Amino acid sequence: MPKDHGRKEDGTPITDEMVEAMADEAEVGYEVDEIIRRRGGRPAMGAAPATVESVRLDPELKRELIVRAAEEHISVSEAIRQAVRQYLHAS
């Protein structure tokens, strides 16, 4: 009786043969540069990886921020980035 290894994203069962093939591939090794080139994720925002900063907002300010971002058809994160840039470049 085959062991249940779960299912793929499309719902097909993962068979013993598939597990064996993946193990054989892993034993041969992977080309690290190829894996790095295939890397997905969010697009880069600058010359180095971006950081996530945490900011506490009172409910009224958060509501105003959400409304303004929606009016400008941008994300809340982009609205915050624009506000910080404007603040840093103000005379």
Helix, coil or strand: residue 32: helix
Residue 9, in any domain of the structure: no
Tell me how crowded residue 18 is: count the other CB atoms within 10 A of its CB: 13
pLDDT at 25: 85
Tens-place pLDDT, residues 18-71: 888 888 888 888 777 776 666 566 777 777 778 889 999 999 999 999 999 999
Q: Note whether 7 and 13 are within 8 A (CB).
A: yes
Residue 37's domain comprises: 16-44+55-89
Look up the CATH number of the domain holding residue 76: 1.10.1220
> How far is C-alpha 17 from the geometric centre of its chain's CA atoms?
31
- Residue 73 within a domain: yes
pTM of the complete model? 0.53
Cα-only R_g, the chain: 23
Within a domain: 11: no
Domain count, the chain: 1
DSSP label of 86: H
Residue 25 falls inside a structural domain: yes
- Tell me which of 11-15, 19-23, 25-29, 80-84 is least confident: 25-29
